Amino acid sequence: MKTTLKLLSILLITIFISCGGKEEKKKEGFSYEKKETTEKTSAPKPEVLPASKKIDLANKGIGPIKSVTLAPDVDQSMATHGEDVFKNMCTACHRTNKKFIGPPPTGILKRRTPEWIMNMILNPEQMVKEDPLAKELLMEFNGSPMANQGLSEKDARAVLEYFRTL
């Protein structure tokens, strides 16, 4: 009688343990799956925009240009001059509408202030060191820096006017 009781209790205990074990395993599996699905859904959030696609219409950059006023209409003769300057000085690294050594300027005024653009043209060395957006841009382009082409302020302004037409 005693031995059967012992055997019975041992049996009961083992059943209890194995059941408990199973349940734990199940729970683990479940929570693991849950983790995976939450990871999957949170991964493709659109917040990881590259610097070249980021929109920052408050940042004026660092450099000689503090304020630029754009007339409502594009100044065609200034834009044509800017196009010449761009073709001579910039097309080694920039294509108007596709990524090349640097980003394409098409639509750039929807992403950056006119002041930031001109400071980037006139003062790129300091910009890529100190301006947060320019710093990120430099990283996106694997450390190849925007070149200072020694443009006059007038020519940089003309290039900006040309960018308005792209």
Site of interaction with ligand HEC (CB under 6 A): 52, 86, 89-90, 92-94, 101-103, 105, 108, 112, 117, 120-121, 128, 134, 137-138, 141, 144-147, 149, 151, 159
End-to-end CA distance of the chain: 96
**In terms of CB distance, is 35 or 129 closer to ligand HEC?**
129
Q: Find tokens 């060395």 and name the residue.
A: 125
**In terms of CB distance, is 27 or 87 closer to ligand HEC?**
87
Measured distance CA(55)–CA(148) in Å, rounded: 23
Token representation of residue 40 = 């999957």
**In terms of CB distance, is 81 or 112 closer to ligand HEC?**
112
The least distance separating ligand HEC from the CB of residue 114, rounded to whole angstroms, comes to: 10
Measured distance CA(123)–CA(152) in Å, rounded: 11
**In terms of CB distance, is 7 or 92 closer to ligand HEC?**
92
Measured distance CA(53)–CA(148) in Å, rounded: 22
The least distance separating ligand HEC from the CB of residue 111, rounded to whole angstroms, comes to: 6
